[in-house]
């Protein structure tokens, strides 16, 4: 490809004169631009973009990643953090999924809220149908929290469609596997809170509504889900059974059902720690539940007594167990705890979990071919999270804002706000109010437990309503472009697999 900033073109600028500049100055500036690294990089990226060719054929496999709560600000801050962890300034870094060639912006509202929750958004991307916030696997015509009549409004997920076609399937999450995002792949519930029978009213149970954990174990499509890895052990054990990892805890089920035993009786295997996962034979369906509730945040994982696998290890395990399917596979993977850390106003844990998701996507990319596997990466919603304050390039992500001197060069001086107090480059609109004057010099913003301040006090930080990004590579990935409804993700993935609605 011919470089538009050729030496010949640059040389011709010797004859030009700009007010206040000599011919020689103009020429020097032009040559400087031609050899400038930004020009070189821009020309390289342009060539790559122009050479990108769509893979216009059916996908054998689909791997669908969701970063729960991973809005654009989270993605940007995680990108910088990952770069800084690798010894760079961070801004030029790209997360693994940011190298995927096709992107679109996704609208995340539900049918009754401008700012959504994870149940309504998950139903949208799993089934292609928008619904109310708080509702799992039902259309918008279902009433939230009302069991009566919910069966009339059930909608079918891509995971169920894949199982009905004989494909292998998998579910992975660092949250409870009965939590909203994974639950919408297999369950129908008028309330996302119906994770176990304990969470339901007796009248709803008598009416025939079934809790989410039980729906997973009794999943009737195809031969059942082949790989299930995540948290939420307590929802599968009766309240008379002691948790295998924590002797002081028991299950939560009041109906006496031991769903783990039921899974094993049907021919499946169960694991609850990292070592068991690594040793598990591959000839049986696998249920791995690594915590009674949500799994550990990535920065806390090494402190877990039982030993928990990382999201990357669970991703590799799932792919290795599914890739032998002649009919292909559909795998849903969620970095579920990005969202939870944001709700605590704790950017440290949120961003480290986002960086771990980047590793997991890189693992999936390394284990698959773009010729037959469509990889889609997105988020369900954003958060009231901001990166602001004019920090200098290379400012530590978890640091006070430090600006530039009078010549525009970064310095080490802490920038003060109009009230004379320092502030961090990361912050939240809602959540915990922090007295910045009190914590400056007393707390290190790089401490894992540091909580960035909020402007509006609330019990927990809130979701954000702006669009999120979807990124893709592989067969039919070129369908992901422009501005799309969240339901589009389902329809594009189903089309790639050749599944008709």
| Other Cβ atoms within 10 Å of 299 Cβ, number | 16
| Angle, alpha carbons 405-91-73 (nearest 5°) | 105
The b/e string for 407-442 (b: 16+ C-beta within 10 A; e otherwise) is eeeeeeeebeeeeeebbbbbbbebbbebebeebeee
Cα–Cα distance, 192 to 211 (Å, whole number) = 10
Which of 27, 30, 116, 118 is flagged as catalytic? 118
As a 3-state breakdown, the chain gives helix, strand, coil percent values, each rounded to 5, of 35, 20, 45
**Contacts with 330 (C-beta within 8 Å, 6 or more apart), sequence order:** 61, 62, 64, 158, 159, 162, 167, 168, 169, 170, 497
Instruction: Let me know: does 13 contact 26? Beta carbons within 8 Å.
Output: yes
Q: Considering only CA atoms, which of 358, 362, 317 is closest in space to residue 335?
A: 358
**Residue 118 known to be catalytic:** yes
Question: What angle, 0 to 180 degrees and rounded to 10, lies between the N-to-C axes of helices 23-35 and 37-51?
Answer: 50
Report helix, strand or coil for 323.
coil
Strand bridging mode 102-107 / 483-485? parallel
Cα–Cα distance, 18 to 264 (Å, whole number) = 80
Instruction: Let me know: does 124 contact 130? Beta carbons within 8 Å.
Output: yes
Cα–Cα distance, 100 to 470 (Å, whole number) = 10
Residues paired with residue 333 on neighbouring β-strands, in sequence order: 65, 172
Active site residues: 118
């Amino acid at each position: 490809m011919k470089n538009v900033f050729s030496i010949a073109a640059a040389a011709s600028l010797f004859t030009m004169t700009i007010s206040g500049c000599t011919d020689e100055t103009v020429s020097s500036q032009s040559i400087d631009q031609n050899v400038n690294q930004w020009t070189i990089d821009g020309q390289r990226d342009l060539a790559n973009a122009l050479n990108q060719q769509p893979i216009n054929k059916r996908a054998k496999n689909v791997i669908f990643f969701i970063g729960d709560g991973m809005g654009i600000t989270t993605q940007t801050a995680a990108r910088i953090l990952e770069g800084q962890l690798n010894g760079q300034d961070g801004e030029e870094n790209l997360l693994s999924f940011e190298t995927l060639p096709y992107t679109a912006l996704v609208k995340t509202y539900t049918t009754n809220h401008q700012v959504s929750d994870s149940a309504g958004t998950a139903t949208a991307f799993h089934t292609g149908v928008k619904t109310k916030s708080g509702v799992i696997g039902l259309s918008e015509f279902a009433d939230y929290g009302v069991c009566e009549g919910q069966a009339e409004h059930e909608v079918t997920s891509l995971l169920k469609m894949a199982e009905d076609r004989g494909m292998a399937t998998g579910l992975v999450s660092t949250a409870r596997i009965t939590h909203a995002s994974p639950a919408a792949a297999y369950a129908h519930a008028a309330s996302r809170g119906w994770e176990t029978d304990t969470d339901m009213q007796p009248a709803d149970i008598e009416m025939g509504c079934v809790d989410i954990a039980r729906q997973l174990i009794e999943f009737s499509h195809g031969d059942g889900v082949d790989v299930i890895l995540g948290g939420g052990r307590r929802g599968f054990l009766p309240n008379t059974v002691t948790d295998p990892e924590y002797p002081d805890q028991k299950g939560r089920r009041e109906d006496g059902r031991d769903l783990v035993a039921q899974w094993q009786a049907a021919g499946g295997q169960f694991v609850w720690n990292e070592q068991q996962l690594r040793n598990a034979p591959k000839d049986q369906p696998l249920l791995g539940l690594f915590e009674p509730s949500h799994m550990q945040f990535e920065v806390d994982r090494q402190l877990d007594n039982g030993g928990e696998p990382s999201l990357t290890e669970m991703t590799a395990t799932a792919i290795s167990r599914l890739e032998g399917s002649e009919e292909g596979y559909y795998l849903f993977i969620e970095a579920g705890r990005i969202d939870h850390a944001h709700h605590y106003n704790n950017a440290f844990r949120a961003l480290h979990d986002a960086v771990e998701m980047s590793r997991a996507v890189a693992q999936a990319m390394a284990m698959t071919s773009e010729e037959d596997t469509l990889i889609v990466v997105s988020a369900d919603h954003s958060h009231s999270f901001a990166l602001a304050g004019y920090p200098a390039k290379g400012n530590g992500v978890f640091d006070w804002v430090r600006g530039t001197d009078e010549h525009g060069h970064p310095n080490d001086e802490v920038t003060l706000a109009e009230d004379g107090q320092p502030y961090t480059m990361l912050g939240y609109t809602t959540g915990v109010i922090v007295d910045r004057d009190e914590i400056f010099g007393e707390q290190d913003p790089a401490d894992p437990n540091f909580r960035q301040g909020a402007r509006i006090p609330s019990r927990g930080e809130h979701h954000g309503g702006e669009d999120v990004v979807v990124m893709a590579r592989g067969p039919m990935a070129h369908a992901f472009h422009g501005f799309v409804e969240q339901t589009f993700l389902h329809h594009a993935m189903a089309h790639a697999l050749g599944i008709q609605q």
